[in-house]
């Protein structure tokens, strides 16, 4: 059984936990979570149990305020160590015999940052976002997942990339693509302000629940890393809209072959 840890327990980290509970309990042993210090172990249990978008988790949850970190979350009788450690290299992955770390903090998206998990004793790292810097391969299931060569650090790209890349691959394989553009209508994220407030991007400074916010997206670049045929010919933009979850992507393709 694969021994897994999650670093970052926000939207992506908690949903990864839910997916493990719903689909992979026979294959994955979630051993530890580095959740951060924005709340305590009781708060993290509450956020896992009650999700505005995805409903109430049916599993039985309890806590023990003891352990190696900030406490243990008990899920259906199984303990999971919780930590609030800022630097990945200080995490006890070696002591916990961690096979794979799911990196979902949004802060460690470079090769140097991801390598800190290996330095801490993890055997492999999967980044839940596009790589910002470094020689890290990107894999998207049903696009190039079969080409995985056992690298210790990989990127699984972003949610939008996982939406657009499989569709783009069909177009590349069957028709050929000369040029492509996409726009994604995307639910707002925690990087935006719920009320008007300071932000380096003035558009994201506006109240997320009341505005349609045009912004950039790195999904087309990440898709091109998984599907090299799109490199240099695929562009896109994003609109953040007032929904808590759910997105769609719209494409325009100029094909090399006739489609009818």
Catalytic residues: 159
Q: What share of the chain is helix, strand, coil (3-state, %, to 5)?
A: 25, 30, 45
Distance CA 53, CA 208 (A): 16
Tokens of 198: 């300071």
Check residue 20 and report its DSSP letter. Answer: H
Residues 6+ apart with CB under 8 A from 173: none
CB 7 within 8 A of CB 101: yes
For 214, phi then psi, to 5°, come to: -75, 140
First and final CA of the chain: distance in angstroms? 48
In 127-199, which ranges are continuous DSSP H helix? 159-174
β-partners of residue 83 are: 34
> Which letter does DSSP use for residue 141 in this model?
T
């Amino acid at each position: 059984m694969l021994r897994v840890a999650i670093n970052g327990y926000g939207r992506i980290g908690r949903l990864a936990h839910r997916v493990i509970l719903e689909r992979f309990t026979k294959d994955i042993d979630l051993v530890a979570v580095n959740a951060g210090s924005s709340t305590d172990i009781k708060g993290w249990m509450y956020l896992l149990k009650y999700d505005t978008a995805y409903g109430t988790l049916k599993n039985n949850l309890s806590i023990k305020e003891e352990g190696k970190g900030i406490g243990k979350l008990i899920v259906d009788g199984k303990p999971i160590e919780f930590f609030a450690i800022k630097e990945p290299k200080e995490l006890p992955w070696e002591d916990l015999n961690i096979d794979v770390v799911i990196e979902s903090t949004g802060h460690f998206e470079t090769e140097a940052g991801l390598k800190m998990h290996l330095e801490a004793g993890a055997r492999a790292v999967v980044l839940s976002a596009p790589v910002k810097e470094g020689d890290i391969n990107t894999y998207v299931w049903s696009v190039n997942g079969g080409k995985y060569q056992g690298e210790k650090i990989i990127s699984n790209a972003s949610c939008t990339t996982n939406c657009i890349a499989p569709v783009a691959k069909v177009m590349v394989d069957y028709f050929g693509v000369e040029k492509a553009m996409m726009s994604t209508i995307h639910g707002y994220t925690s990087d935006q302000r719920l009320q008007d407030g300071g932000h380096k991007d003035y558009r994201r400074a506006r109240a997320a629940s009341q505005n349609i916010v045009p912004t950039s997206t790195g999904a087309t670049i990440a898709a091109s890393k998984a599907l090299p045929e799109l490199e240099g010919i695929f562009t896109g933009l994003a609109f953040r809209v007032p929904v808590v979850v759910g997105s769609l992507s719209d494409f325009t393709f100029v094909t090399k072959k006739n489609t009818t």
